[in-house]
Each structure stands twice: as structure tokens, then as C-alpha cells.
Structure 1
Amino acid sequence: MKILIVSQYFQPESFRINELALTLQESGHQVSVLTGKPNYPDGEIFPGYRAWGCSREEWSGIKIYRVPLIARGNRNAVKLALNYLSFIVSGLAFAPWLLRRQNYDAILVFAPSPIFQAIPASFLGWIKHCPVALWVQDLWPESAQATGYINNPWILKLLESVVRFVYRHTDLLLVQSTAFHEPVAKLACGKSIKYYPNSVDFAFYSPPDIPLPDIVGLAGKFPVLFAGNVGVGQAVEVIVQAAEILRDYPDIHFVVLGKGSRWEWMREQVETRALNNVHLAGRYPVETMPGLMRQAAALLVTLADQPIFAATIPSKVQAYMAVGRPILACLNGEGARLVSEANAGLAVPAEDAAALADAILRLYRMPAAEREEIGQNGRAYFREHFDHDRLAEQLVEHLHELTLSFGEN
């Protein structure tokens, strides 16, 4: 198949769509990508790129077409909004010219926030007479409200209308969580909706043999590792509070790999509270993450106590399962259900620091063999439900069926 992937984020930015695109290409499909200029997560355009102007490049046989956009900035709501808007406008204005004389069997939109990046994809689908599949990673407008960026009810109502427009102008909706089905269906005007979960690269299941950095805290007896975005949605306050509760246990250390809008706050709290058991290590290359995760005694995932996050499965849950370490899930809903169903760790309510501290102590006091068994349960569940290659094949089946039904209409 000739597949065009539309995603505001792509290589060298680290997102799940990179590995999926590469697998599709290696499987014999012809993959192209329409994206913006890389600037996530620091909010500055990557070296070697410039914000303005269109560009073409190639990565592992994949043709990449880049349109101009405004960098998202650092914790700046106005710049973030302009970043989202600029990709939509640039996609509408420049993508038809960049992709002239190119035809595709299907267009796939990888849609973490913002979901509105599907608008130029739908326009391209109309021009090129091919179907558009939208892979919904976040619920909108709920995501904008839950992260605190937008609270005005009139603006939220306007965003809901735009989401209805986006759904109405796509041909297939893929949702990363079964709990997404109902809220998406309410706005999707009878569109076909299918469950299509996230996976992770095989490297998480079988870490490559590469040199790993020495990170303070990971060499201890019981390191608890949190990896990923350190933001409002992750409710990282619960990590600080749990660390304070457990400060008298010298074997237990919290290691945070990643950065985000709440990282500086965490740093200040660690200093103010003199938390010697919390180590903010910052970001490390994605290829080192599987090996670093394997060094942990337990892997921690947290989300805020918001209805939208109860419907969400953070992609790090799949990564943690693949790595084979016990999971501490401080969240509600689907993510907690998944960890419990797989018997891959312990789940406690979102933002409940006391419950999280108790769960950590339960794992800490378990025999090592029992913790290893829990980690292996996660690996087995990952292979059965989230295997990367199997899901890539499933995506091709979805797209193939979509093209057949589109041709009949």
C-alpha cells in the first residue's frame, strides 16, 4: 500500500509513530510522512532545521515532507496555541503543493494533542480521493481542560464543535483505549470506530546491548523509576509526597527520567523538603530507556485525578510491561484496570500519596522471586495484546478494509 502518515510530530522527535512508520516501510509498504519542523519537547526548532520554509528529506526509505510552523516555546500557552494553529494553516496551504503528483491508497493521522492536525489530512484526502483514518490518542476538548490550558466554557464548546467537524471529515476512527469509544462516538456522527492500542518498539522487550549512563539512584537496592513527561497531567506532586512519606527507608529511591512543565517545581520541592531520595535525572536518549528501565526495581506511572485520564492508557504502561518490571500504577480507570488484569503490578487511586507509599512498601517487602514473577506477567500480557509487529499487521488490515469500502462508495 501507499500510505501517507500525517503527524505534527515525527523523527527526530521521539514518538510512537516513528517505529510504526518504519515497520510499515520495512514490510514492503510505501510510506511518506507529512509533518512539521521538529521542536518537541524543548519548544525550540532542532539544530539543522529552520521554522520557515518547506523541506524534504528521507529517513530509512521514508519520504518526509515538512511544512513551516511556529515553535511551541517553553510553558507558554500562547505560543503553544500558535504552534498548533501554524501546523494546520501550513498543512492546508503548502501540503497540496509539496505532495503534488503523489497518490496514496490511504492517509493515517497520528493524533496526540492537538487532534486538529487531522484537518489538513482530510483536505488532502479530498484532493487525492483517498480515505483518511484518524488514530485518536487524546480526547478533545477534554485534554485541553484537564491540563489547565483552557477553562472558558465558551471556548470549550467551540473546540467541541471543531472536534465534531474533524470526526465528520474522516472515514475511520482508531482509538487507543476501549474507554475512548463512547466519548468519541458522541461526537463522531456514526463513523466507524475501532480499538487500536499503542505498542512500543521491540527494543523494550529485548533491550539492545549498548553502554548506559550511570544515573544516581538507579544503582541502589530499590529504585522506583518514573519515565516520561513531567507535566500537569502526570500529577507529579504525588511522587514528591510519597517520597516524603518514605524518606526514612534508605533503600527506596525515586528516579525521574524526563522533563516537562512541572520539572522545575519538582526540583524546588526536592530542595525545599530536603528529599535525598528523589533524583531528577532529566532526559536521556530513547535508545537507552529500555536498559535503564530494566535497572529499576519498580516502574511508576501516574496521572491526575480527572475523568479524561481515567479513560486513557498512557503508552508507558505498554513500555513498562514489555520491560518486565513490576508496575506501580497511581491512576484511575483503564490504565489501572490493565495493570490489575495483567497482574503486572499494583494499582492505587490517582493522586493518593499514602496509598502509593503503601504499594511501594508492599513491593519492597516482597521476595525478589515474587516481584520477578509480576514483571514476567506484564511481559506475557504485552506479547499477547500489544506486540508491535502484530499490531502493525492489524493496522494494514484496517487500512486495506477502509480502502475497499471507500472504493465502493
Structure 2
Amino acid sequence: MNLLLITQYFWPEGFRVNDIATEYQKRGNKVTVLTGLPNYPSGSVPKEYKNKKNRIQIYNDVKVIRSFLVERGKKLSGLALNYASFAIASIVPAVTKIPKNDYKIILVYQVSPVSMIVPGIVLKYLYKKPLVIYCHDLWPASLTTVGVNDKGLLYKIVKHISRFIYAQADELLISSKSFEKYLRKELSLKNEITYLPVYAEDLFGEVQSNIEQSEKLNLVFAGNVGEIQGVDDIIKAANILKNEENIVFHIVGDGTAHASCLELAQQYGLKNVVFHGRHPIEKMREFYDKADAFLVSMKKNEVVSYTLPNKVQSYLAAGKPILGMIDGETKSVIEEANCGYCVDAENYEELAKVILRFKDESIKYEMFGQNAKKYYEQNFSKEDFFEKLDTILQTTYKRVKENEYV
């Protein structure tokens, strides 16, 4: 199936969509990616992408077409311009640089913002191409994570826009089971909705198992360090445990809250927290090898609780215990898999207690790890993902084309 994949974020930015594009191409399909200029999470476009450089690239045999966008910067106003600029500017290369006969169907890998779907809608109606939306962030609900009042005028306007955008999908895929409830209840969508959880890249399944208790308990948080991820609460738990010399917290990643979390750790005078910064996915294996258990956290927010962060699949694939401070879908997965412990979002005092409990239960390290691996293989396998994705794309294409002649 020849596929046009639209996403505002793509390599060299570290998103799961990079692997999806590569793997779908490897499986005998032709994939073309329409994306923006890389600027996440730094907020700045690298110099090698400025002045119209590298607007067409090849990544693992996948053709990548890049659109102009305004870089994110560090302020909310810059983020709004970033979102709007891609939605508008990407229409030009979508029409002028990608021949309509190069693809049969459009797949939008939608994280924030929902406006990244706009070029897909234009192409759907311009060229009569089926449109599949793969939803990873709920809109307008995601606006509440940056302080937008869900009772205000802006939220209501974006809600109407989001409803219209999602309604254009010929098939709507969701990465978390809880999303359907929101889309049906809050946006009154009537689309076909299919649950399609993502998998973890192969390297995470090759992580070394630590089944014996070592001198130190290494706890690893890997991923975006943004405001909503609640890493500051992990720092607060580390402060409670600062006299436990054999417990070390490793923060691997970067984001808008990285500086404030680093400052908080310095204010506490913590020596049990190590900030490793952001690393390419190829280097993440060494941090996963080191981990005795993984940490996942989020702030208390109803919308956030609907989401299953992609790091959870990576943690499960690595076959090690997970200690969570998070509500909703992720908490349910940890409990259902019986692969660790989970406390309520923002409850760092209880997290500290759970970590001490876990440290004294080395006999459970192997059991939790095996349970994690088993749960991953049963629920998030790569083969199942691509078999299901291909079936969805093929059947959607056939259904839409048949309806054209009814």
C-alpha cells in the first residue's frame, strides 16, 4: 500500500512514528512522509535545516518532505505560531512536491496539535484520497495541560474545530482505549474508531535483565521532561529518600521542565539524582540496561489519565519492573500486568514508600520483569501492530473507493 504519512514531528526528533514509517516501508510498501522542520524539544530549528536546506531527505529508504514552520521557542505564543504555521504552510509542499499518484491513502500520526491533520483533509478532498487519523493526543482536552480553561471561549472554539477535524477521518485509530469514551461523549463523533496500541522499537526487547539485587537500586525515568510529566514530583520523592545512599534516580531526557527540575534538585542538595540529558534512541539501551526498575509519572489531570505514554511499551518490552505515580490507563496496565507498583498522580510521599518497599523485595524483581515482558508480547507486539495497521489501511481504502461508485 503506497502511503502518505503526515506528522509534524519526525526524525531527527525522537518519536515512535520514525520506526513505524521505516518498518512499513520495509514490509514492501512505499512510504512518503510530510513533516516540519525539527525543533522539538529544544524549541529551535538546527542551522542545517534553515534557509530552505534539507527540505527533501531520505531516512531509511523513506522519502521525507519538510515544510516550513515557525520554531516553537520557549513561550506559549511561539508554540501557537508553531502549530498554526505547519497546518497552513505544509499544504504547499503537500500539493507541489508530492505527486498524487505516489500514494493511495493518507495516514496522519496525530500528536499535539490536532491542526497537523489539516493538510491531510485538504488532500483528501482535493485528490479524493482516504484519510486515516491515528490519534495519540486528545484535542481540545490537551489544552488543559498548558493551563487553558475548559470553560473559556478559546477552549470552546478549539473544541468545535477539533470535532470538525476528527470527523473528516474515514477511519480513526486511537492509541489508548480510554480515548474512545472521550471522542464519543465530548465530541459526539460517529466515525469508525479502532484501538491500535503502539509497540516498542526492537532495541528495547534486547535489554539485559537485572534479576539479582545489586549494591545500588537504579531507578530510571526516560522520556520528555515537560510540565505534565511530573518529574518534579519524582525529585520530591528523591528528597524524602536522600539519606538512602543505595537508591539512585536517573532522569534521561529533556524538555520544558528540565531546568526547573534540575534547579529543584540543587535546592534540595540531592546527590541521589542524576540528570543525563537527552540522547538518541540508539543510546538508550545503556540506560535501560542499567535500570533495576523504571519510573513513569504524570500530573493529576483527567485528560492525561486517558493516555498511555509510549515509554510504557518500551519499559514493558525491556522486561523490568515499573514503579508508577500516575492515574488512569497507565495505572490499569501496571496493575493488570502485575509488573510493579503504582500510586496516585502527584503522591510523591507514597511513591517514596513504594520505592523502599520495592527495594526490600528483591525476590520480586524477576517476577515483575517476567510479567512485564509477557504482558508486552500479549498486548503490544510489533507483528500484531503491522498486521492490524495494514488490514485497516487496505479495508479503509477499499471501503472508501467502493462508496465513490454507489
The normalised TM-score by structure 2 is 0.94
2:211 maps to which residue? none
Counterpart selection for 2:399 from 388, 401, 405: 405
Q: Give the 3-state SS of the residue equivalent to 2:392 in structure 1.
A: helix
CA offset digits 1:262-312 (Å, max 9, x no partner): 111111111111111111121122112133112111100001111011111
Tell me, yes or no, if structure 1 residue 172 matches structure 2 residue 174. no
Quote the offset at 1:52 in angstroms: 4.7
Give matches, 1:372-391, under 5 Å. 372-391=366-385
Tell me, yes or no, if structure 1 residue 228 matches structure 2 residue 231. no
CA offset digits 1:349-406 (Å, max 9, x no partner): 0000111011111110012x42122011101111111112320121011111101110
Counterpart selection for 1:351 from 346, 352, 373: 346
- The aligned amino acid for 1:88 is A
- Check whether the contact 1:54–1:68 (CA below 8 A) recurs between aligned residues: no
Counterpart selection for 2:250 from 255, 259, 278: 255
- The aligned amino acid for 1:318 is Q
Q: Distance in 1 between matches of 2:179 and 2:157?
A: 20
Q: Give the 3-state SS of the residue equivalent to 1:373 in structure 2.
A: helix
Give matches, 1:123-202, under 5 Å. 123-148=122-147, 153-186=152-185, 187=187, 189-202=189-202
CA offset digits 1:147-168 (Å, max 9, x no partner): 3256671000011011011012
Give matches, 1:22-41, under 5 Å. 22-41=22-41
- The aligned amino acid for 1:174 is L
Quote the offset at 1:94 in angstroms: 3.3
2:387 maps to which residue? 393
Q: Give the 3-state SS of the residue equivalent to 1:18 in structure 2.
A: helix
Q: Give the 3-state SS of the residue equivalent to 2:199 in structure 1.
A: coil
CA offset digits 1:73-94 (Å, max 9, x no partner): 1x21111111111101112233
Q: Give the 3-state SS of the residue equivalent to 2:300 in structure 1.
A: coil
1:291 maps to which residue? 286
Give matches, 1:13-28, under 5 Å. 13-28=13-28
1:68 maps to which residue? 68
Q: Distance in 2 between matches of 1:190 and 1:255?
A: 44
Q: Distance in 2 between matches of 1:310 and 1:72?
A: 25
Unaligned runs of 5+ in 1: 209-218
- Check whether the contact 2:219–2:247 (CA below 8 A) recurs between aligned residues: yes
Unaligned runs of 5+ in 2: 209-213
Q: Which moved more, 1:390-399 or 1:41-50?
A: 41-50
Q: Distance in 1 between matches of 2:276 and 2:14?
A: 18
CA offset digits 1:5-26 (Å, max 9, x no partner): 0001111111101101111100
Q: Distance in 2 between matches of 1:51 and 1:313?
A: 37
Q: Give the 3-state SS of the residue equivalent to 1:4 in structure 2.
A: strand
Tell me, yes or no, if structure 1 residue 279 matches structure 2 residue 274. yes
Q: Give the 3-state SS of the residue equivalent to 1:178 in structure 2.
A: coil
Runs of 4+ with >4 A deviation:
51-54, 149-152
- The aligned amino acid for 1:273 is Y
Give matches, 1:310-329, under 5 Å. 310-329=305-324
Tell me, yes or no, if structure 1 residue 206 matches structure 2 residue 206. yes
Q: Distance in 2 between matches of 1:227 and 1:135?
A: 24
- The aligned amino acid for 1:15 is F
Quote the sequence identity (%). 34
Give matches, 1:296-315, under 5 Å. 296-315=291-310
Q: Distance in 2 between matches of 1:190 and 1:54?
A: 40
Structure 1's 284 and 245: CA in aligned 2 closer, same or farther, altered over 3 A? same
Q: Distance in 1 between matches of 2:125 and 2:53?
A: 24
Quote the offset at 1:102 in angstroms: 3.1
CA offset digits 1:232-268 (Å, max 9, x no partner): 1112221121111111211011110111111111111
CA offset digits 1:31-62 (Å, max 9, x no partner): 11111111111111124211658822212221
**Structure 1 vs Structure 2 CA RMSD:** 1.7
